[in-house]
Amino acid sequence: MFQIKTKIKWPRFLPMWILSIVFGWSLIIYPGLSLREIVIYSWDMLPSIAWKMLISALMLGTVIGILQYLAFRIEINLSWKWIFISALSYGISTPLAFLILSAVIGYQEVFSSGGVAFMSLPLALTMLIGGCFAGIIQAYFLRVAFDLHRIRQIVLWTLGTGLSWGIGFFLTSYGKAVGLPLFMQSGLAGLAIGLITAFLLRIQFNRIPS
């Protein structure tokens, strides 16, 4: 997937990595942001919401994958397959996290109330857990190039990615509070994800001379 060269031009690589994620999140608004005003009161609502999330998240992951492929295909010999891995990591993580969390949180009070009780979309936890799911998928496919063979390294990448998505949620909430448009709110989340994952990459490859 990645064939890391002996000398990566980090001053170029890291900003391009960050910008690819920020631009992707700005161009394709994270699905949870446009759906966060939805009130959930029935099991029947979950599949349609998850489907909308799946489509948008797939598009988001695809755009980021394409941007990173175009930016890094020569410098680090990035395979075109990364586009599909990026789409997969985003497309699976968000709807899966949403379905699991909605079922767990709403099982007793909402879905067993016969439509009397309701809940908001669990966006904060969806982004946090979804980020962890995305990190797990990426770690599996990047384990050779990223040297993610040790459990500690896999956990670091997974939790770091999840943390970046969680921080991204708080930035989107701030953006909403000050009246920023959705694409800028989503871009703020992308900024957090780009910065933190770039930091993780730099730590992971600190043995490679700049």
Q: Where are the domains of the chain?
A: 10-204
Phi, psi at 34, each rounded to 5°: -80, -15
Task: Output the tens digit of pLDDT for each of the chain's 210 residues.
Answer: 555 544 677 788 899 999 999 999 999 999 989 888 887 777 778 889 999 999 999 999 999 999 999 988 877 777 888 899 999 999 999 999 999 988 887 655 665 656 556 667 889 999 999 999 999 998 877 765 555 556 777 888 899 999 999 999 999 999 999 999 999 999 999 999 999 999 988 887 654 444
Angle of helix 182-204 relative to helix 10-27, nearest 10 degrees? 150
